[in-house]
Amino acid sequence: MATENKNLSVYDKTKLPNAEAYRFGIVVSQWNDHITYNLQKGAIETLMDLGAKEENIQSFEVPGSFELIFGASQLCKKGNYDAIIVIGSVIRGETAHFDYVCQGVTQGIKDLNIQYDTPVIFCVLTDDNEQQSIERSGGKHGNKGTEAGVTAVVMADFRKKL
């Protein structure tokens, strides 16, 4: 596995844009909330560490990962955000449901990035088991929410520079 024994959530703040002027929306799935809320926490802490003001970060909850698409779409339509982070966790089960949800969410978020002028950052864990999700939401592999926060700041800055 590519991330074996690596924490990928370490970043150099001096090499990243300041997020003070940017507004961020976060759409988080309630499904597997012991995972998604850790990802959300990592994203918010990172945004603030990079200069975002607390009042410029708004979080919204949806029932599951599939609903992230609708939630992010609504935020895109409002046009109030410089970047949007979608946070979910889909853990493989015994049926093909995992594959359909993962594919649908991935394609849906891709479509939003094409359709709207607001970057939508994909922070949806698609793991084979719960332990893998735990390890990527604040465990030995870091916090993918942290990585999503960094990506949101970089993409908001990219959008502004265009």
Tell me the catalytic residues. Answer: 97
H/E stretch holding 144: helix 144-161
Distance CA 10, CA 8 (A): 6
Distance CA 26, CA 30 (A): 13
- Closest residue by Cα to residue 129 from 105, 87, 98, 93: 93
E strands, the chain, where? Answer: 24-29, 57-62, 83-91, 120-127, 137-139, 142-143
- 91 DSSP β-pair partners: 127
Distance CA 120, CA 123 (A): 9
Distance CA 2, CA 16 (A): 24
